[in-house]
Amino acid sequence: MLSALAEVQSFRPPARAPLYTAYVNPQPARAAAPSMLLAVLDEVNHGLVLVTEAAEVAFANRVARRDCSADRPLHIDGTRLRVTRSADRDALLRALTAASLGRRTILTFADASGDMSVGVVPVGAAQATGDAVALLILGRRGHGEPLTLQFFAQTHHLTSAESGVVSALCEGLRPTQIASRSGVAISTVRTQISSIRQKTQAKSIGHIVRMIEAMPPIASAQGMPAGLATGRQAD
């Protein structure tokens, strides 16, 4: 009886395999070169930073390089990831230590330039000192990325004025504020919103914004020097 009870108490269910895992072709016709894989990450409109437990940057895609500029609460200084406030530094190092142990964390950094949310995701235990242990996924700075808005406008055949209204709505402005900023009557803005809803089949202003949020996060090449994320030099 006691031995049976001990067996029950010591039982641990087998670990379940993840429902979805990355697919890698075991016999590709042509293996993807490292430069191609880096280029893929550069096209994603989310900042991605691969770091060691000591906050050394192993890789940062170009959106991360843009969003982690020197005036931001979390910034890349050469090969180091730094924060403005000492309290944030302690929180970051704790999150990196947690990542080395397989735990995920979400951090929010703030200073005069605004808030910055960051997800800290483990990428595997370090096998040696200096190995990357965490992927930092930077929160998006806004709904209305220029390239996303451009694609949205082209897809739904919006006029330039209507595109401007969509951009303002994504900033969180109300129709009265849009009219004031544009120097037009509120009736004009309401007519433009009505036209946008008709063209996009959106049920409300909130629906329009959600449609923007649901679009693929494609990074814009504008303002991005060649080789910014991968170390390649521009010609």
Does residue 122 sit in the same domain as residue 163? no
Full strand arrangement of the beta sheet holding 57-60: 57-60, 48-52, 132-138, 114-122, 105-111
Contact 212, 49 (CB under 8 A): no
Q: Pick from 87, 103, 138: which residue ends a domain? A: 138
Mark 68-95 as b/e (b = at least 16 C-beta within 10 Å): beeebbbbbeeeebbbbeeebeebbeeb
Of the pLDDT bands very low, low, confident and very high (cuts 50, 70, 90), residue 157 is very high
The pLDDT-based confidence of 9 (bands split at 50, 70, 90) is very low
- Out of 97, 120, 138, pick the residue that ends a domain: 138
Per-residue confidence (pLDDT) for residue 72, from 0 to 100: 86
In percent, the amount of the chain with pLDDT more than 70 equals 73
- Count of domains forming the chain: 2
pLDDT band (50, 70, 90) for residue 228: very low
Q: pTM to 2 decimals? A: 0.64
62 and 111 share one domain: yes
Res. 46 pLDDT band, cuts 50 70 90: confident
> 98 φ, ψ to 5°?
-60, -40
**Domain extent for 172:** 146-213
Distance CA 159, CA 165 (A): 10
Report how far residue 143's alpha carbon sits from residue 212's, in angstroms, rounded to the nearest whole number.
7
Same domain for 170 and 129?
no
Distances (CA, A) of 70 to 56, 76, 82, 155, 186: 16, 7, 9, 36, 40
8 A C-beta contact, residue 211 and residue 170: no
Please tell me which residue, 84 or 111, carries the higher pLDDT value: 84
Residue 170 sits in the same domain as residue 81: no
Collapse the DSSP code of 81 into the 3-class scheme (helix H, G, I; strand E, B; otherwise coil) and give the result: strand
The pair of three-digit structure tokens given for residue 96, joined into one six-digit string: 């990196």
Paired residues of 138 in beta bridges: 118
| pLDDT at residue 71 is higher than 90 | no
Quick one: 96 and 174 in the same domain? Answer: no
Both 107 and 161 in one domain: the answer is no
Question: Which tens digit of pLDDT belongs to each residue from 182-214?
Answer: 999 999 999 999 999 999 999 999 999 989 888
Q: What is the DSSP string of 8-37?
A: HHH--PPPPPPSS-----SS-SSPPPHHHH
Q: Are residues 129 and 85 in the same domain?
A: yes
Check residue 223 and give left, alpha or beta (phi > 0: left; psi -120 to 50: alpha).
left
Among the three residues 77, 105, 138, which one is the final residue of a domain in this structure?
Answer: 138
Most confident of 12-21, 38-47, 185-194: 185-194
Of 82, 58, 55, the residue nearest 229 (C-alpha) = 58
Question: Rounded CA gap, 74 and 63, in Å?
Answer: 13
The reply to whether 130 and 151 lie within a common domain is no
Q: 215 to each of 145, 146, 219, how far by Cα in Å?
A: 11, 12, 12
Q: Are residues 127 and 152 in the same domain?
A: no
